[in-house]
Structure 1
Amino acid sequence: MTIDESNTVKKPKKIKKEFDFSKHPKRHVALKIAYIGFNYQGFASQTHVQNTVENKIFEALLKVKLISDPNNCKYTRCGRTDSGVSAFGQVIGIQLRSSEDDEKPFDYVRLINNVLPEDIRAIAWSFVDDDFDARFDCLYRTYKYFFVKSNLIIERMREASKLLIGSHDFRNFCKINADQVISFNRIMLDIQINKCTPDQKDDDPDSLYEIIICGYSFLWHQVRCMVAVLFLVGERREDPSIILELLNVEKNPRKPQFAMASEIPLILFDCAFENVKFHADSSRLRAEAVVDLESHFVHMFQLNSIKTKIIQTMMNSIRCSLVVDEVVPDRIVTLNQIKTDHPNLTTRKGPRYVPLMERLTGKSVEEKRASKQNKKTL
């Protein structure tokens, strides 16, 4: 006996119900976000760019039904970071779906992290007032910039960095956006240059340092421009007094042309707020949430430590390679000796360094504004 398949009744597919956000309360939340920015085109969403940290956060919040519309959730961000720049203390303000019982709030950190890429993590949150603004309520911001000592004279850099502290016009230390920025005056609260590995010797060229820069707010590319000039001072290409020259905008209203420091070593380390107490999650789950976050970063650290060791092994192998001298075949020399006493090699000279104050300059702020105004009137 055969079954007539044409007569079998197919069950209708269940229609997935739309999630009804109107049935759930909402609360304004401050989220602290950490991300490794190497693989992203900046933090903030852009019209023609999808691969941003902010887009990934919105995708995660939509997926776990914490928001219904990115354009209607009272969203604010503390700062914009460039393509490649990382953060540990980025803060956003946003209205999220919340638990009906305030005594048992949602496990926001775990909910969001379950659907975020591994190089973006929510690390803490706090309920905040409805008028909270992550940008304008921030008291101060702290950046860190990591670098290898190499041939840099750290004391010269420290001497120059002290001249940046205080209230100054930083138009010669930023990318000028003349039509959007009214004032280029910013206040730097403190700048420190410290060794990351205290056990390493001061004269070790491979030792890792960090520049810690704390200020109320920053101009576009300001940190990377300041670091670039500090490097020129550390290389003895410029005197520490170059800082005063560049800060004197009446004497030098036009910025000399120079390359910014790389974006990769830069991290937005901290954003400070008054009366905002961040926590990994509710008291009952706090320890567990912290352990989860730590385990995640430990795994990433171990993986990248292995990558670093592989590169270091290659570097050391090259440094320790033995080369047979072509003139005296029995003589073995190391690569470290080649530059000084090998008869067949000559020292190559690079292009002559042009001091900053002798270089071509861009337009002044006033010239840029006048140029914009002329275009509008045409």
Structure 2
Amino acid sequence: MTESIRLRLDVSYDGAEFSGWAVQPGRRTVAGVLVEALGRLVGAETPLGLTVAGRTDAGVHATGQVCHIDLPAEAWTELEASLLRRLAALMPPDARVRVITPVPDSFDARFSATFRRYEYRVSDTKWGPEPLRRHDTLGWVRPLDLDLLNASAAGLVGEHDYAAFCKRKEHATTIRAINRLDWRRDPDGVCVATVQADAFCQAMVRSLVGAMLTVGDGRREPDWPAKLLTLRERSSEVTVAPANGLTLVEVGYPAEAEYAARADATRRLRA
């Protein structure tokens, strides 16, 4: 068996022109351009075992995405000093590998993670988002009340079944533990939601944001989103917020000695 080195890659991308993270035949994806660039350096036939912390949907951005690959040790010896620079030359300008770090084999970008943190940006000005931020900021035509947004967010924190806010997958749980959900208004006037949890199911963050925005603009009562947590299927009343406002900003990991234990715990289904 060929000896390999596990590498952690910290990745950023503008999701506007990508059909999400995962490789899809005939579609431009983040994983697709990354694998293509790596293949040009180590051979397209070289298995890399690319594993990502969280598969982002089409149009969603990342400043703190994490993935790992297993690179043949011989290739790493040859490329260690230049791999970051070479990837920068080979990858498109809307996707960047920012850091490459050798890690133990016990590190798993997906299962070793302790949390994922997203931010969702919304401009409620009459003229819409600033042109230079149009890719990562949603324009909202109604004024938003920050106090109402935070009141609606408070009822969604904790461990709950978020089935009302998720696209259900067969044999997959919709129970998640949100440990942070709040809104702020930045100096530029943009409202920013921060949501952090151990993991998210598909479309969950955008569904939560969509529900809270109807509270923030006065169309719903602050306790309405939390009341939906009693449902065991997706709610037709919740509108999924557009992808362009959402960015994955950080993935957290435990100390190196705890990588394997965390991965084992994550793989167990929640009760």
Is residue 229 from structure 1 mapped to residue 206 from structure 2 by the alignment?
A: no
Tell me, yes or no, if the aligned pair for 1:30 and 1:127 is still in contact at 8 Å. Answer: yes
In the TM superposition, 1:119-130 aligns within 5 A as: 119-130=94-105
Aligned CA distance change for structure 1 residues 78 and 107 (closer, same or farther; 3 Å): same
Aligned CA distance change for structure 1 residues 127 and 256 (closer, same or farther; 3 Å): same
Q: Determine which of 4, 14, 22 is the counterpart of 1:44.
A: 22
The residue that corresponds to 2:135 in the other structure is none
What is the one-letter code of the residue matched to 2:45? D
Question: In 2, distance between residues paired with 1:254 and 1:28?
Answer: 39
In the TM superposition, 1:77-96 aligns within 5 A as: 77-96=52-71
The residue that corresponds to 1:64 in the other structure is 41
Aligned CA distance change for structure 1 residues 69 and 274 (closer, same or farther; 3 Å): farther
Is residue 109 from structure 1 mapped to residue 84 from structure 2 by the alignment?
A: yes
Q: Determine which of 177, 187, 191 is the counterpart of 1:187.
A: 177
- Residue deviations 1:221-257, cap 9 Å, x none? 00000000000001111101112210123xx756234
The residue that corresponds to 1:136 in the other structure is 111
Question: In 1, distance between residues paired with 2:45 and 2:249?
Answer: 29
Using CA pairs under 8 Å that are at least 6 residues apart, name the structure with larger relative contact order, 1 or 2: 2
Aligned CA distance change for structure 1 residues 111 and 99 (closer, same or farther; 3 Å): farther
Question: In 1, distance between residues paired with 2:165 and 2:76?
Answer: 50
Tell me, yes or no, if the aligned pair for 2:5 and 2:76 is still in contact at 8 Å. Answer: no
- Residue deviations 1:240-294, cap 9 Å, x none? 1112210123xx7562343210100100111112246xxxxxxxxxxxxxxxxxx
When normalised by structure 1's length, the TM-score is 0.59
- Residue deviations 1:126-148, cap 9 Å, x none? 11112322110111000010001
3-state SS of paired residue (2:63):
strand
Q: CA deviation at 1:208?
A: 1.0
Question: In 1, distance between residues paired with 2:37 and 2:228?
Answer: 44
Q: Determine which of 161, 166, 170 is the counterpart of 2:162.
A: 170
What is the one-letter code of the residue matched to 1:239? E
The residue that corresponds to 1:260 in the other structure is 240
What is the number of equivalent residue pairs in this alignment?
237
Q: Alignment RMSD, CA only?
A: 2.1
The residue that corresponds to 2:199 in the other structure is 217
In the TM superposition, 1:313-332 aligns within 5 A as: none
Q: CA deviation at 1:175?
A: 1.6
Tell me, yes or no, if the aligned pair for 1:31 and 1:122 is still in contact at 8 Å. Answer: yes
Q: CA deviation at 1:212?
A: 0.7
3-state SS of paired residue (1:64):
helix
Q: CA deviation at 1:97?
A: 4.1
3-state SS of paired residue (1:117):
coil
Relative to its length, the structure with more strand (as a share) is 2
Unaligned runs of 5+ in 1: 1-21, 201-206, 277-378
Tell me, yes or no, if the aligned pair for 1:142 and 1:270 is still in contact at 8 Å. Answer: yes
3-state SS of paired residue (1:135):
coil
Is residue 274 from structure 1 mapped to residue 254 from structure 2 by the alignment?
A: yes
Identity fraction in percent: 26
Question: In 2, distance between residues paired with 1:84 and 1:234?
Answer: 24
Question: In 2, distance between residues paired with 1:146 and 1:138?
Answer: 24
Tell me, yes or no, if the aligned pair for 2:36 and 2:44 is still in contact at 8 Å. Answer: no
Tell me, yes or no, if the aligned pair for 1:168 and 1:247 is still in contact at 8 Å. Answer: yes
Question: In 2, distance between residues paired with 1:64 and 1:239?
Answer: 55
Aligned CA distance change for structure 1 residues 99 and 110 (closer, same or farther; 3 Å): farther
Tell me, yes or no, if the aligned pair for 1:38 and 1:85 is still in contact at 8 Å. Answer: yes
What is the one-letter code of the residue matched to 1:173? F
- Residue deviations 1:46-102, cap 9 Å, x none? 2x333111100001001122x5436x2232111111101110111111012456897
The residue that corresponds to 2:151 in the other structure is 159
What is the one-letter code of the residue matched to 2:16? F
Question: In 1, distance between residues paired with 2:237 and 2:75?
Answer: 57
Tell me, yes or no, if the aligned pair for 2:53 and 2:110 is still in contact at 8 Å. Answer: yes
3-state SS of paired residue (1:83):
coil
What is the one-letter code of the residue matched to 1:188? I
3-state SS of paired residue (1:111):
helix
When normalised by structure 2's length, the TM-score is 0.81
Is residue 33 from structure 1 mapped to residue 33 from structure 2 by the alignment?
A: no
Larger Rg: 1
Q: CA deviation at 1:169?
A: 0.6
Question: In 2, distance between residues paired with 1:45 and 1:159?
Answer: 39
Tell me, yes or no, if the aligned pair for 2:10 and 2:66 is still in contact at 8 Å. Answer: yes
